[in-house]
Amino acid sequence: SAPPGAPAPGKDHVAGTVSSESGPTVQISRGGRATSVNLATAQIAQLSPAQATDVTVNSCVRIRPTRDAAGSQNPVARMVVVGAPADGQCPSSTKSGHGGMAGTVSAVGQGTVTVGTQTVAVNASTRYIKRSAATIQAVANGQCLTARGTNDPSGTLQATTATVRTPVNGQC
């Protein structure tokens, strides 16, 4: 969900590779199809590689369990996305099912991360990603971009939120 005071994310979305940029408008290509995206008023986040030591008490996390651990009493994290609180608040969801959980880290132990009262195991297979606020300058040709907003009559997505990251093995 959007942070308090932020515009609603919108019902339309696009994801792909930035193929051109001109001011706040970028072209996103995926599967031979290009879409214009206006990022002028978008809240932009950047994803980058992280490591276990980036997860600290009071950091915000979103944890996705391994497929076989979803719904388990003892979930194992497949991915941990870590970031700083927005306006002093972390988005919170403590459901440990298929969608994982999100919230403020209350403890970090040997092989575990605790969010609220739910402890999740982490291991050598757990992938860590850092999420940070970014500006339009972070968006460049060849980067992966996912944006949400509303399509205007011309077909341009007027983005309210966008996430940019470097391709992994050349793929978005």
pLDDT in tens, 59-93: 999 999 887 755 566 789 999 999 987 777 888 87
- What tens digit of pLDDT does each residue of 134-172 get? 999 999 999 999 999 999 999 999 999 999 999 988 888
- Name which residue leads in pLDDT, 94 or 168: 168
- Give CA–CA dist 79/122, Å, rounded: 9
Comparing C-alpha atoms, which of 26, 12, 18, 20 is closest to residue 152?
Answer: 12
Three-class DSSP category at 161: strand
d(CA 74, CA 20): 45
Query: pTM for this structure?
Result: 0.79
Return d(Cα 156, Cα 26) in angstroms, integer. Answer: 10
Helix/strand/coil percentages in the chain, nearest 5: 5, 55, 40
Of 2, 35, 32, 10, give the one whose Cα is nearest residue 20.
35
**Beta carbons of 46 and 164 less than 8 angstroms apart:** yes
